[in-house]
């Protein structure tokens, strides 16, 4: 049974207490339902009425003392905490918070803008939902053209409305709406019914370019593309040009960049070829010019379409295209 003597040790116990949690636990021990004070109160029941009256009064006084001791200790702890707050040295350097940054694709697009705007290009945009006329027909790809097969198109309303399979459709929008000469680049999302794997995705980015003026020739195109590769990957970047077929251009070509990840030795990203084809290009086909009401005798020009994701992957050593589209936090 608890006696008055147990209560007398309370001041010493309180002196040991450092935190509000410890104090709360001790308070329950003394003032809780099964605490020492109530235990003493229960012993009074066995006494005679006179004795109970006398001891009861003593117990009440004791309880008041105990309550006061706890109140005092609570104030002490609170004051202590507040003094710590004002002790805080505001001149100390803060803890650096990690913040995100732009997506790798946005970073590369901004670099690309730098190069092309320096050469006098403007940024031009077009819709992702296109008509087959702008996506195919006016690009010298009539309905029965076999090259339409190469692009597994996602139709919204067949045969008229589709998700653009390339940004070349924006070339047509530009040529039918703007006055010549034009010099544009257009980055944007494209869609194809692809089986997704490390190097193909149903949603991907292209960066289109178009330059139509008088006297534009293949030499301008090669210098533009080669200069671009060296701007993005460094002065010693090795490129090569190959003849390619694209209906919208004649002659057509492609530029390969020596794989930046393996330096041409061969790796999974370049499929052990040592080279990555990054852009399709060529001199704009006269049929495409006349489809846009432009006289091909007077005007000429070139166009190119970069696979933007490949440029980004090579720039940052990213080996799976899907990680550019699934919110990958590693690229934070």
Residues forming contacts to ligand DAH in the complex (CB under 6 A) are 166, 168, 208, 246, 248-249, 280-282, 303-305
Closer of 36 and 166 to ligand DAH (Cβ): 166
Quote the tokens at residue 31.
């003032």
DSSP string, 176-239: HHSPSSEEEEEEEEEE--PPPBTTB-SEEEEEEEEEEESS--HHHHHHHHHHHHHHHH-TT--E
Closer of 74 and 222 to ligand DAH (Cβ): 222
Closer of 104 and 209 to ligand DAH (Cβ): 209
Closer of 168 and 258 to ligand DAH (Cβ): 168
In the complex, least distance from residue 210 CB atom to ligand DAH, rounded to whole angstroms: 7
Closer of 37 and 283 to ligand DAH (Cβ): 283
The terminus-to-terminus CA distance of the chain in angstroms comes to 65
In the complex, least distance from residue 246 CB atom to ligand DAH, rounded to whole angstroms: 4
CA distances from 229 to 197, 232, 290 (A): 26, 5, 32
In the complex, least distance from residue 190 CB atom to ligand DAH, rounded to whole angstroms: 7
In the complex, least distance from residue 294 CB atom to ligand DAH, rounded to whole angstroms: 16
Task: Yes or no: say if 262 and 276 are a contact pair by the CB < 8 Å rule.
Answer: no
Nearest to ligand DAH by Cβ — which residue?
Answer: 305
In the complex, least distance from residue 128 CB atom to ligand DAH, rounded to whole angstroms: 14
Rounded distance between C-alpha atoms, residue 26 and residue 16, angstroms: 11
* Ramachandran angles phi, psi of 16, nearest 5°: -80, -20
Closer of 244 and 273 to ligand DAH (Cβ): 244
Quote the tokens at residue 271.
């499929």
In the complex, least distance from residue 232 CB atom to ligand DAH, rounded to whole angstroms: 18
Rg of the chain over CA atoms, in angstroms?
Answer: 39
């Amino acid at each position: 049974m608890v006696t008055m003597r147990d209560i007398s040790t309370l001041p010493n116990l309180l002196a040991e207490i450092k935190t509000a949690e410890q104090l709360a636990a001790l308070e329950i021990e003394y003032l809780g339902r099964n605490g020492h004070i109530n235990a003493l109160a229960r012993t009074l029941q066995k006494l005679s009425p006179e004795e109970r009256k006398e001891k009861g009064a003593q117990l009440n006084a004791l309880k008041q003392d105990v309550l006061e001791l706890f109140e005092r200790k609570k104030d002490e702890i609170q004051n202590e905490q507040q003094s710590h707050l004002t002790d805080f040295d505001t001149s100390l350097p803060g803890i650096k918070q990690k913040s995100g940054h732009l997506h790798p694709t946005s970073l590369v697009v901004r670099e690309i803008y730098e190069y092309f705007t320096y050469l006098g290009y403007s940024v031009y945009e077009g819709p992702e939902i296109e008509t087959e006329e702008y996506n195919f027909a006016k690009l010298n790809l009539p309905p029965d053209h076999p090259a339409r097969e190469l692009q597994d198109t996602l139709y919204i309303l067949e045969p008229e409305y589709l998700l653009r399979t390339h940004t070349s459709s924006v070339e047509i929008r530009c040529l039918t709406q703007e006055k010549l000469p034009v010099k544009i680049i257009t980055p944007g999302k494209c869609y194809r019914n692809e089986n997704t794997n490390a190097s193909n995705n149903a949603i991907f980015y292209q960066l289109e370019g178009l330059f139509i003026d008088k006297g534009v020739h293949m030499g301008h195109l090669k210098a533009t593309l080669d200069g671009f590769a060296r701007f993005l990957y460094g002065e010693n970047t090795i490129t090569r040009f190959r003849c390619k077929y694209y209906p919208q251009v004649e002659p057509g070509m492609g530029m390969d960049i020596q794989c930046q990840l393996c330096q041409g030795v061969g790796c999974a990203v370049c499929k052990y070829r040592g080279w990555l084809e990054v852009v399709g290009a060529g001199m704009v086909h006269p049929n495409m010019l006349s489809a846009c009401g432009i006289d091909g005798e007077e005007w000429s020009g070139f166009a190119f379409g970069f696979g933007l994701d490949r440029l980004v992957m090579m720039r940052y050593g990213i080996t799976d295209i899907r990680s550019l589209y699934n919110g990958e936090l590693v690229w934070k």
